[in-house]
Amino acid sequence: MVDDGAELRTEVAVLRRRVADLEAERDRLQETERVLRQGEERYRRLLESVTDYVYTVTVQGGRAVATDHGPNCEAVTGYTADEYRANPMLWLDMAPPEDRPLVLENAARLLAGEDTGPFEHRIIHKDGTVRHVRNTPVLRFDAAGQLVAYDGIINDITERKRAEELFTRLSLHDGLTGLPGRALYMDRLRQAIGQAERREERVAVYFIDLDRFKEVNDAHGHEVGDVVLAMAAKRIAGCVRRSDTVARLGGDEFVAVTPGIGEPDNATAIAAKMVSALAEPFEARGAVCRLGGSVGVAFYPDDATRGGELLRLADAAMYAAKKAGRNGWRRAGDVAAGAP
Residues belonging to the active site: 252
What is the per-residue DSSP string for 186-235?
Answer: HHHHHHHHHHHHHHT--EEEEEEEETTHHHHHHHH-HHHHHHHHHHHHHH
Answer whether 155's CB lies under 8 Å from 52's CB.
yes
Strand-pair category, 52-60 with 245-250:
unpaired
**In degrees, to the nearest 5, what angle opens at C-alpha 167 toward C-alphas 165 and 172?**
95
Burial of 298: CB neighbours in 10 Å, binned 0-12, 13-18, 19+:
buried
Give Rg (Cα) of the chain.
Answer: 36
**In degrees, to the nearest 5, what angle opens at C-alpha 309 toward C-alphas 307 and 312?**
110
Amino acid occupying residue 192: A
Q: List Cβ neighbours of 135 (8 Å cut-off, separation of 6 or more).
A: 106, 118, 119, 120, 121, 152, 153, 154
